[in-house]
Amino acid sequence: MVESFVPRLVNGPFEDPVLYIGFRYKRRAMLFDLGKIDWLGLSEIHKISDVFISHTHIDHFIGFDHLLRCSLNREEDLRIYGPKGIIQNVQGKLAGYTWNLIQGYPLKIVVREIDAGQQTAVRFSAVKKFDSEPVAIGDFSGVLLDEPSFAVETRILDHSISCLGFALKEKNRLNVRRERLEAMELKSGPWLDQLKKMLRERAPETTRLECFTKNGASLNLTLREWRENLILETRGQKIAYVVDCVFSDANIEQILALAREADLFFCEAAFSKEDQARATERYHLTAQQAAELARMAQVKKLIPFHFSLRYEAEPNRLFQEAMEAFSQTPPSRTVGRIP
C-alpha cells in the first residue's frame, strides 16, 4: 500500500530532533519539533504549513529563526502549536530582530498554546510588525488539527516541564473498486469524490446518490448500497512522536493513548539502560523504556532517536538495546533506523 504521509528525520540520531512529514499527494508538509533545519531545502521548507513543538529546550526550537527567514513571503498562515510558554517564546524570538521594513510581506504566524487542558492562540502578522493579536479559539479537545483526511492529536507529558507528544492519524481510506465500477458499467467522475465525501462526513446511510451508466441510464442507490457495492475501506496510516519525558505511570498512560497500534513510533531513547538513574533524573527515557512503550502500544515499527551524545562513540548501542527489548514481540514488529 502506498502511504499518504512520508516521514523522515531531518538530522542524525545524535543531533537535534526534527521530524519532517511530507504529503505524498500535495505540496504540503508538517514538522514535529524544530531543532536545526539548515539541511532542509528551501522548496521543502516552503511546503511546511504546521509545526508541532514538543517543548522549547534549545535543541527542539533553535530552527525557528531559519524557518522564519525562509517564510517571510508565505501567503498562507504558518501555524505553530506548543506547550505552556510557546507564545512568549515565539514573541521573544520575533523581538530579537528589527522589523521596520517588514510591512510589505504577507507572513502571518498563528501560535496555539496548550496548557493543562486549555488553549490560547495569537497571531503575529508582518504587516503589523509582528505585534500579537488574540485569535478566538474553542475549548481544547486534545485534537490540534482535524482535516477531512487526517487529524493530529496531542497529550501533555512530564519532562519536569510540560512536553507535548503527538499522533498523526490518517482517517480510514475509501478506495473505489475499479473492477466493480467496470462491471456495473458506471462512468467515473466527480460523483465518486462526492460519494467519498458523504461517506467520510457520515451522511445518513439512506441518503440517495444518483449516477449514470455508460449507456446514460440512471442509477439511484442509497449511500449504504454504494458503500457495499463499490467502496473498499482500509485503515489509514498512524505516526506517533514522543520525546523528552520520564518513564512514569502518568506518562506511560498518555503515551500509550497516543501511540496505540501506530505504524511508526518515533520515540526518544536518550540513555542506555545502564544509566537509567541518570535518565530519570533528567526526565528522559532509556532505549529499553522506549522499546517497552512500543511493545505495550503494539506499534508496528519503533524508530528510536534523540540519543545522548555520551554514546556517540558507540553509535549502535542504543539501537541494539531497543532491538533486544523489542525482540519478544511478533516478527512483524521491528525497530528501524531513521528513514
DSSP, res 4: S
Burial 239-266, CB ≥16 within 10 A → b, else e = bbbbbbbbbeeebbebbeebbeebbbbb
Closest CA to 22 of 55, 52, 1, 45: 45
The nearest distance, CB 265 to Zn ion, in angstroms, is 17
The nearest distance, CB 227 to Zn ion, in angstroms, is 45
Q: Which of residues 227-266 bind Zn ion (CB under 5 A)?
A: 244
* Closest to Zn ion by CB, 81 or 124: 81
* Closest to Zn ion by CB, 107 or 114: 114
Task: Say what the alpha-carbon torsion angle 162, 167, 168, 169 is, to the nearest 10 degrees.
Answer: -140
Order of strands, edge to edge, in the sheet holding 264-268?
143-146, 150-158, 162-170, 238-242, 264-268, 301-305, 334-335
Stretch that binds Zn ion, among 52-60, 141-149, 178-186, 221-229 (CB under 5 A): 52-60
Q: Which of residues 59-98 bind Zn ion (CB under 5 A)?
A: 59
* Closest to Zn ion by CB, 150 or 307: 307
Could you tell me which residues are beta bridge partners of residue 83?
Answer: 114
* Closest to Zn ion by CB, 11 or 237: 11
Q: Decide: is 46 part of the binding site for Zn ion (CB under 5 A).
A: no
* Residues 126, 103 contacting (CB under 8 angstroms): yes
Give the total of residues touching Zn ion (CB under 5 A). 3
The nearest distance, CB 306 to Zn ion, in angstroms, is 6
* Closest to Zn ion by CB, 115 or 263: 115
Helices within the chain (DSSP H only): 42-46, 58-61, 64-71, 86-94, 178-183, 190-200, 223-230, 249-259, 276-281, 287-297, 317-326
Stretch that binds Zn ion, among 56-64, 169-177, 229-237, 256-264 (CB under 5 A): 56-64
* Closest to Zn ion by CB, 31 or 211: 31
Q: Which residue do the cell numbers 497529550 mark?
A: 155
* Closest to Zn ion by CB, 42 or 309: 309
* Residues 210, 222 contacting (CB under 8 angstroms): no
The nearest distance, CB 60 to Zn ion, in angstroms, is 6
Q: x/- string (CB under 5 A) for Zn ion, residues 132-171? A: ----------------------------------------
Q: Among 28, 47, 57, 129, indicate the residue that binds Zn ion (CB under 5 A).
A: 57
- Cβ contacts of 205 within 8 Å, gap of 6 or more: 222, 223, 224, 227
* Residues 255, 297 contacting (CB under 8 angstroms): yes
* Closest to Zn ion by CB, 162 or 288: 162
- Sign of the four-CA dihedral 6, 55, 10, 250: negative
Stretch that binds Zn ion, among 50-58, 232-240, 250-258, 314-322 (CB under 5 A): 50-58
Stretch that binds Zn ion, among 55-63, 164-172, 199-207, 328-336 (CB under 5 A): 55-63
* Closest to Zn ion by CB, 36 or 300: 36
The nearest distance, CB 335 to Zn ion, in angstroms, is 20
Write out the H or E segment, with its range, that includes residue 31: strand 29-32
The nearest distance, CB 7 to Zn ion, in angstroms, is 18
Interface residue list for Zn ion (CB under 5 A): 57, 59, 244
